[in-house]
Structure 1
Amino acid sequence: MTSVRRLAFSLPMSDARLLSKPSRLPATPPPQFGDLVAWAAWLYYVDEMTQAEIALRLGVSRASVANYLQEARRAGIVTIRLDPGAVSRTAAAKALAERFGLAEATVVPALEGRRVDTRIGVAGAKVLAALLEEGDTVGVAWGRTILALARAAEPAGIERLTVAQVSGSSASTDDFAPELCTTLLANQLGARCVNLHAPAVLSSRDLRDRLLAEPALQRQFALINSATKIVFGVGDIGPTSTFHRSGMLTEEDLGRIVAEGRAKGVVIGRLIDAAGRPVPSPIDDGIVGISVEELKAVPVRLCLAGGPLKTEAIRGALVGGLATHFVTDSDTAERLLSGS
C-alpha cells in the first residue's frame, strides 16, 4: 500500500475546522487561499469532498474543478509522494517474479518484534482469497505459516469450494498438524473439508501401498490430484525447524542428512536440494502425501515462506519451479535477490 502526502500547505486548526463545517460559501475563495485552485485542492484532498460537491460549493462546473486540481499539481500546491518502503517492496516483488518465473510475488514489510510467519500468513490469506474461483479444490499442506493463513482467512462466499489435506496426519505439535490447517481453513472459507485419514509416515512401503489401495483413500487421492490450487510452505531442516520437531525422521537420520549437505529444505515432508529436486530420505517409501512432481502438476501453487534460516530452502523451491505465486517478507526478498 502506498502512503501519499496530499498537500504542500496547511492552515491553522481553527480555520480548518471552519472550512469543514457545512455552509453555503460564496464562489470567492476565503482569505486563507489566494484563488479557487488552492481552495478546490483543500476541499478535495483534505475535506475529501467529491468533485461534484466542490463544483456546487464553488459555483463552477465539474470540468472546472478537474482543471483546478490539475493546476494545483502543476503549481506545486499539491504534492504526491510515495512511501519509499512501499516502492521498494513493490520493486522487490516484481524483481522476484521476474527472477524466478513467478506469476505473482507479494512482499510484506519485515517488522522487528513481529513474527514473520504470522505476517506472511495474513498476507497469504488475502492473496489466496483473490485467487479463489467457483469449483476450486484447494490442497493444503502444514506448518506455522500455513496455520497463520488459515486463521486469517475470511468467508469466501464461493460456490462448490473444497479444501483438501495433501499429506497424512500426525499426533505431533500444532505446527505439524495438517488436519488442523485444513479444517480451520475450510471452516473460515465456508468450504467443504476433506481430511486425509492416514498417518503422515508409515513403517514400510508395503504397508503404505496396501493402505493406499483402500477405496476410501483412493477416492481421497483422486480428489487431491485434481486440485486446482495448493497452499504450502517451505521449511528448513535445522534443530529448531518444524520438520525436525515433527519426528518424521530420527535424530540420527536427520543428522546424517544435514551433514551430507545436499538437502537444503523440506516441502510437504519431502526433502529438496538447491535446485528444488527431491533428495532421497529413509522415510520416502512410507510417506502418505503428494510428491514434489505431483505438487508441480497443480496449476496454481501458492508458496508462503520467509525468515533467514529458510533462505536456501526457499531459493531451491523457487528455482525448481515449485511455486507459481509467492508471499514473503522484505528481508527474505532482499536475500533472495542478492544471492546471500
Structure 2
Amino acid sequence: MSTNEVELLTRVAWLHFMEGVTQREIAKKLGISQPKVARLLDRAKKCGIVRISIASPYANCLAIEGELRRLFPHLEDVVVVPAPQGGDLFASLGRAGAWYLERVLQDGDLVGIAWGRTLKHVASSVQGTRVRNLKFVTLVGGLTASASLNPYTIGEKLASIFEGECYYLYAPAVVESEEIRNFYLNERINQKTLELARQTRWSLVGIGTVDARHSIYALTGFIDYHELELLRQKGAVGDILGQFYDRQGNLIDTPLHRRTVALPLEDLRKMKNVIGIAGGKEKVEAILGALRGKYIKILITDEETARDIVELAKREG
C-alpha cells in the first residue's frame, strides 16, 4: 500500500470516526463519491488502520451471547448480564428478566409462569409498564412451603402489576401417588388451565439442579436426599417444572415424575418464546441439558455461567 493510499484511508477514517463527519460530507470535502468513502472506511477497518474497541462491561457478554447462538441455533434470543461482584445473583437475573418482559410484552398477552427464586425476583423487579390486561397461567402445581417462591404468588403479583388475571393449576406440585396426580389432571378446571398454558405467547421458567443445597424440591421438602440420589444415579442434571432430564436433555422417567402435577416438558418443547432464567456454577449442567433438550427458546443468564456453558458444550462436543 502506497503512502498516498495510507494517508487517504487515515484521513477518511479520522473524519468519520473521530470527528463524526458523515460519509456524504466527507465525499463532498474530498471530491470523491460517497460509495468510495464507504469502501475506504471498510478497507481501513480490514487493514487495521481502524480498530474498534467497546469499553463496557457488557462487551464480553455480547460476545458470549454470539457463541451461545452459534452453539444452539434453535435459540431465538440470548441475554447475558455481567456477574454481580459479591452481589445477589438471583436479584441480578431477576432484574434482567423483568427488563426483558417489559420490552417484549404486549397488551393482552398470555404468559406462562413457573416457580423459583429467580422468578420471585423477576416479579419484584418489574416496574410500571405501558402494557395492560395480561393473563398469566401457572405451568406447575403449588408449593406447600416457601410461599414467596410459589407460582401462585408470582403469578398473582405479576397479574396485579399488569392489571390482568391469573389462572392456576389447583393442586400441589407433587402428590402422594400417580392416581392422585391423574385425579388432579383430569379435573375440568385444571384441564382448562393446561389448555391455556399450551397457548401462551411467552412462558417464564426457572431451571433446577439436583444439588440438594440448591434444589427447590429439596429445600421445600417435596423430595428427600434419597430421591435426589436416585435421580443423580439415573443421570439427572436438572429439572424444569419438576421434571428431570439428563445432560443431553433426555427426560428421566421416575416415580417422582408420575407424581408431579405440571405441564409436560414434551408440550413445553413445542411452545414458542419459552424463557429460561438461571445462573450459578451449580446450574451449568442443568442449563446445558435444557438447551440440548430444546426446552427453552430464550436464555437469560450471567456471564460466568454462560462462559462455563460454552466451554462445557465445546469440550463435550
| TM-score higher than 0.5 | yes
Q: SS where residue 337 of structure 1 aligns? A: helix
Aligned partners of 1:328, 1:114: CA distance in 2, in Å? 15
- 1:264 alignment counterpart: 237
**Residues 270-308 of structure 1, C-alpha deviation per residue, up to 9 Å, x if partnerless?**
111111121122222221111111111221111111100
CA shift for structure 1 position 123: 0.6
Counterpart among 141, 146, 156 of residue 119 in structure 2: 146
Q: Which amino acid aligns with 1:222?
A: E
Cα distance change of structure 1 residues 228 and 123 upon mapping to structure 2, 3 Å threshold: same
C-alpha RMSD of matched pairs (Å) = 3.0
CA shift for structure 1 position 174: 4.0
- 1:16 alignment counterpart: none
Aligned partners of 1:84, 1:159: CA distance in 2, in Å? 34
Q: Which amino acid aligns with 1:298?
A: M
Aligned partners of 1:89, 1:328: CA distance in 2, in Å? 10
Matches within 5 A, 1:40-55: none
Aligned partners of 2:166, 2:202: CA distance in 1, in Å? 15
Q: Which amino acid aligns with 2:250?
A: R
Aligned partners of 1:111, 1:207: CA distance in 2, in Å? 43
Q: SS where residue 318 of structure 1 aligns? A: helix
Q: Which amino acid aligns with 2:269?
A: K
- 2:61 alignment counterpart: 89
**Residues 112-169 of structure 1, C-alpha deviation per residue, up to 9 Å, x if partnerless?**
2111121111111111222213332110011111111111112443344211111111
- 1:54 alignment counterpart: none
- 1:172 alignment counterpart: 145
Range with greater deviation from structure 2 (246-255 or 302-311): 246-255
Q: Which amino acid aligns with 2:181?
A: R
Aligned pair 1:134/2:107, yes or no?
yes
Q: Which amino acid aligns with 2:162?
A: L
Contact 2:202 2:274 in 1 (8 A): yes
Contact 1:176 1:246 in 2 (8 A): no
Contact 2:269 2:294 in 1 (8 A): yes
- 2:206 alignment counterpart: 233
Matches within 5 A, 1:132-281: 132-174=105-147, 176-241=149-214, 242-258=216-232, 260=233, 262-281=235-254
Aligned partners of 1:253, 1:159: CA distance in 2, in Å? 43
**Residues 13-64 of structure 1, C-alpha deviation per residue, up to 9 Å, x if partnerless?**
xxxxxxxxxxxxxxxxxxxxxxxxx9xx99x9xxxxxxxxxxxxxxxxxx79
Aligned pair 1:99/2:99, yes or no?
no
Aligned partners of 1:147, 1:199: CA distance in 2, in Å? 18
Q: Which amino acid aligns with 2:91?
A: T
Aligned partners of 2:181, 2:231: CA distance in 1, in Å? 23
Identity of aligned residues (%): 26
Contact 2:178 2:258 in 1 (8 A): yes
Aligned partners of 2:177, 2:305: CA distance in 1, in Å? 38
Range with greater deviation from structure 2 (200-209 or 304-313): 200-209
Aligned partners of 1:285, 1:117: CA distance in 2, in Å? 30
Q: Which amino acid aligns with 1:264?
A: V
Counterpart among 318, 334, 339 of residue 291 in structure 2: 318
Q: SS where residue 264 of structure 1 aligns? A: strand
Contact 1:139 1:224 in 2 (8 A): yes
Larger gyration radius, structure 1 or structure 2: 1
CA shift for structure 1 position 261: 5.0
Contact 2:91 2:121 in 1 (8 A): yes
Q: Which amino acid aligns with 1:92?
A: I
Aligned partners of 2:118, 2:275: CA distance in 1, in Å? 12
Moved over 4 A (4+): none
Q: SS where residue 111 of structure 1 aligns? A: coil
Aligned partners of 1:327, 1:251: CA distance in 2, in Å? 29
Matches within 5 A, 1:8-19: none
- 2:7 alignment counterpart: none
Contact 2:185 2:191 in 1 (8 A): yes
TM-score, scaled relative to structure 2: 0.78
Cα distance change of structure 1 residues 165 and 289 upon mapping to structure 2, 3 Å threshold: same
CA shift for structure 1 position 176: 4.0
Contact 1:140 1:178 in 2 (8 A): yes
Q: SS where residue 58 of structure 2 aligns? A: helix
- 2:97 alignment counterpart: 124
CA shift for structure 1 position 246: 2.4
Contact 1:253 1:282 in 2 (8 A): no
Q: SS where residue 271 of structure 2 aligns? A: coil
TM-score, scaled relative to structure 1: 0.73
Aligned partners of 1:248, 1:303: CA distance in 2, in Å? 22
Unaligned runs of 5+ in 2: 1-14, 30-43, 45-50
